Amino acid sequence: MQMMIGRRSIVMGVLGAAAGGQVVAQSPAKWDLYAVTGVTHPITLRYKEFAEEVRKATDGKLDIVVRPAGELPFRATEVVKVAGEGQVQLSEAYMGFISGAVPLASMSSLPFLVRNAQELEKAWPIIDKFTAPVFAKAGVKNLFYHTWPAQNIFGSGKPIRTIEDFKGRKIRSTDGKQAEMLKQLGASSVSLTTAEVPVAMERGVAEGFITAGFNVVGSKWYEFIKWGWLGDIHIGGPDYRLVNIAAYDRLDPDTRTKLDAVAKDYAPRFRAANLADETKDLEMLKTQYKVDLFVPPKEQIDALIAKMRPYWEQWAASQGASGTAMLKEIQAALGK
């Protein structure tokens, strides 16, 4: 993280004079998109594809520059504030990382509530309804969302196979709700940044971590794991694409329309590509890197859902009436 990118503005200028009067045109707008993934990570590369599609669709009137992890001096937990203040115009806001800033935006990370992309699609209208007003107060709105695949546990040492196997284990989590799940199962939650995970695993500070196989391969974490527990703890989304409202409003109407159109078209392709990668990468972990992958039986998952349901209600109630109402609507939509 080396330099601060300040607020960019759309500059209107007089380009020249023509016979009979002046011709006024809009200078191209240049936006920064903050990403939490590294330069070569598939997520970063897909943001760059999105940016290129926007540039072409707007005939260069909107140029989005993707800023991978480490390029800007911001933490993933700060992105709502950073985008709201206009320090960047677009920001990746993974629900787990912004759970402190906008708790309701992370309800889908309640363990075993929203477990896959199909359930997230059903829950999304409810999530959007409750989170949009909160985001608006912070000066941002969601341009589109994608999702990481289901979050599972990968580690070294003795494999986790049963609920009892969680006891005494040290596992890195990315969200307080994951940490509570681990606590209830007798494990310890370890808080680590992405960059700290390899060293922590090497030194035994952590024995495992919660993520997707897609990220294990993308981050090259297969070098220090031996097993995976594929219980689909929760889906890895929404990963919100927050846009600064003031910057968005300053775009001319045609550019805004084209940006919205590209976002609407690109979002489902982004989600589908991530999920396809998960299938491919789990197979790669199993065959190429010899990671022992275990899918727990239904009765184990049912027991975990029953164990976590009181916590869903407790956590939702801690967010006030909106939290309780949002949980009830999601449960009704998913039949849980």
pLDDT one-digit tens code per residue, 302-320? 999 999 999 999 999 999 9
What are the two backbone dihedrals, phi and then psi, of residue 107, each rounded to the nearest 5 degrees? Answer: -60, -30
pLDDT for the residue 4 = 37
pLDDT at 216 over 90: yes
From the list 134, 126, 125, the residue with the least C-alpha distance to 93 is: 134
pLDDT digits (tens, 9 = 90+) for 86-144: 999 999 999 989 999 999 999 999 999 999 999 999 999 999 999 999 999 999 999 99
pTM of the model: 0.86
What is the distance between the alpha carbons of residues 142 and 147, in angstroms, rounded to a whole number? 14
For 220, half-sphere exposure in the C-beta direction (CA atoms, 13 angstrom radius) is 6
Question: Could you tell me the pLDDT band of residue 68, with boundaries at 50, 70 and 90?
Answer: very high
28 or 168: which leads in pLDDT: 168
Q: Tell me the three state secondary structure of residue 283.
A: helix
How far is 165 from 158, CA to CA, in rounded Å? 9
Higher pLDDT: 14 or 154? It is 154
CA separation for the pair 159, 184 (Å, rounded): 19
Tokens of 10: 């759309």
Residue 2, pLDDT > 60, answer no
Percent of the chain with pLDDT over 70: 92
- Compute CA 18 distance to the chain's CA centroid, rounded to the nearest angstrom: 49
pLDDT for 26:
56
Return the number of other C-beta atoms located less than 10 Å from residue 307's C-beta.
15
Percent of the chain whose predicted confidence (pLDDT) is above 90: 85
Mean pLDDT confidence for 279-289: 97
